[in-house]
Chain A
Amino acid sequence: MSSPVERQPLLRVEGLTKAFGGIRAVDELNLAVAAGELRCLIGPNGAGKSTLFSLLSGIHQPDAGRIVFKGEDITELSPFRRVRKGICLKFQTTRIYRGLMVGENLTIARGKVRGTNGRLEWALGVLGLAGETARPAEICLALATEPELLLLDEPTAGMTPEETALTADFVIKLSGQGITILVVEHDMAFVRHIARGVTVLHYGRVFADGTLEEIEANHEVRRIYLGEQ
């Protein structure tokens, strides 16, 4: 039994369009993400994955279309208000405040959050944030804002296969904590490890959508993307 609220997707993107110069990086894109989903966005270079994230997080404003989050149109909202609504982008590169200690970074990150749902503490426990590497700190900063929708932009960029596997485990555990997660990823090993819903973008549109098996069995997808590897 599901109430209308539950049937409504957490995030709905309708006709989203963004052009840079003459190139439509995102072209009338439609997407719906249900609460609790863990979904990978894949696609060739220039498919519009990163642009989609920048539109979702508010870094860029779309030329057309709208973004609805928890039933509310957030297309015009500034980035910091979207964070307060529960959308957080984890940057691809690590962007902690290097002049400050990790604890001070986290204090700043928690500043706009009232109360706690314990996910940061949980993540700190899982990751064992010893401070030897800045990479876990980045995800902890994102989690400190207590997001409902977490956007991970190439979380395994520059990682060894072992690190990639660990990151995949962590993302799966994180999903188990009830956070909805969208991942932009090139590394198919990572995508297979997560093995949930996959959306393929191509020329700024959704090209295919389905489970990992469906996507891997799709000949067109293999031709435009997976076949490259």
Chain B
Amino acid sequence: MRGLLGIFSRVGGRQDLGRGAAFWVAFAIVALGLVAFPLFGSAFYLSNLANFFVYVPMGLGLCLLWGYGGILSFGQAAFFGISGYVYGIVAQNLSLTPGASLLGIAAAILATVIVAALFGYFVFYGQVSAWIIPLLTLVLSLILETFMAQTAGYQWRIGHVLLGGYNGMTGIPSIQVGPLEFGGASIALYLLTVIAMLLGYLGLRLLVNSHFGYVVVGVRDDVERTRMLGYNVARMQVTVFALAAGLAGLSGVLYVSWGNYINPSSMGLYAATLPVIWTAVGGRSSLIAVTLSTVALKWLADSLAVRGGEYAFLIMGALLLATMLFFPAGIVVSLNRLWRRARRHAP
């Protein structure tokens, strides 16, 4: 019981916005509303919302990595893509085996974390300058995109699964557990994305308020200081990088379970930039801000895309510029500050 209370007080710690009772009441109401939504929402809305929520773990991962860890990465798209492809290859090849999709999930996330840990090992143990890391991670995403784009043709197959080149990999089975299929328009997938989003948020909030989380923030604020307190900074950075990648991998798996399809553009320039925009616009120093901005901006981008053209990219870019000029800390975080200031000055 005391352990449970300890966890609760830690989740509510000060390394994120939203600490009062009012926040947690609102959080509980929204969470219950999301869980209860299938009772009255149509399949169309469920599917759309699931598509937005799919990306939240990836955004949260970048929030941890960049906002708390101080490492800007364009590599989330690469890990999203690796995970989606690996899941597709494993689940499709084993499609007749029971538990294929669970094996697929495990393989996808494991592969993602291993690639991230290897990449991170060379970057962080090699003490690559902080400003080079965004470039290296962007290159990682673009190389993977370019590589996958040329895998058209029958010779590019693993087992009986075609990689598909720029047309992408089709026919990826949705996650299936027993009789329950987590397909694109299913209540099951919708609820799975809601759970992934809520647990991702709460789990990371627990993490950033733990001792580990404080040291991660310490590394961000002063690498050398933290090293001089006896911490293996490189190992911590690799850990955080791999954790963020694992979350992007979770998004990748949920995405292919939703759409049964993935193509190389999921690792392209636009895809690599989007998580950075979600995180910067919401406010990278806050997990709740990034959760909100990921859903809101994904919704905005999709609404714009429906109208056709490449407006979405333009408007996302403009939004990023405007945020950096007027709300460098992020919109949600800045609004929260304004509100707190107003409340302090209120009689």
Interface residues of A (CB under 8 A from B): 57, 59, 78-80, 83-84, 88-89, 91, 95-100, 104, 107-109, 111-113, 141, 144-145
Contacts and interface: CB of A to CB of B under 8 A. Distances in A.
Interface in B210-242: 211, 214-215, 217-218, 221-222, 224-233
Contacts of A108: 211, 214-215, 218, 226, 229
Contacts of B229: 80, 83, 108-109, 111-112, 141, 144-145
Contact of B214 (A88, A107, A113): A107
A202 B230 CA distance: 31
A99 B217 contact: yes
Contacts of A113: 230
Contacts, number: 63
Given A84-B230, A104-B214, A107-B214, A99 B225 contact: no
A79 B228 contact: yes
Nearest to A83: B230
B214 A112 contact: no
B336 to A, nearest CB: 16
Interface residues of B, number: 17
Given A80-B227, A91-B225, A108-B226, A100 B214 contact: yes
A107 B229 CA distance: 11
The 10 A-B residue pairs with the shortest CB-CB distance, nearest first, are A112-B230, A83-B230, A95-B225, A97-B221, A84-B230, A79-B227, A109-B229, A80-B227, A108-B218, A80-B230
A84 B228 CA distance: 9
Nearest to B125: A78
Interface of B: 211, 214-215, 217-218, 221-222, 224-233
Contacts of A80: 227-233
Contacts of B232: 78, 80
A74 B229 CA distance: 17
B326 to A, nearest CB: 22
Contacts of A59: 224
Contacts of B215: 108, 111
30 contacts: A59-B224, A78-B232, A79-B224, A79-B227, A79-B228, A80-B230, A80-B232, A83-B228, A83-B229, A84-B230, A88-B228, A91-B225, A95-B222, A95-B225, A97-B217, A97-B218, A97-B221, A97-B225, A98-B221, A99-B221, A100-B214, A100-B221, A107-B211, A108-B229, A111-B211, A111-B229, A111-B230, A112-B230, A112-B231, A141-B225
A79 B217 CA distance: 19
B222 A97 contact: yes
Contacts of B226: 108
A101 B229 CA distance: 17
A96 B228 CA distance: 12
Residue picked from B224, B226, B230, B232, most chain A C-beta under 10 Å: B230
Contacts of B227: 78-80, 83
A78 B224 CA distance: 12
A100 B224 CA distance: 16
Contacts of B230: 80, 83-84, 111-113, 145
Given A83-B228, A108-B229, 15 more contacts: A57-B228, A78-B232, A80-B229, A80-B231, A88-B228, A89-B228, A95-B222, A100-B214, A100-B217, A108-B215, A111-B229, A112-B229, A112-B230, A141-B225, A145-B229
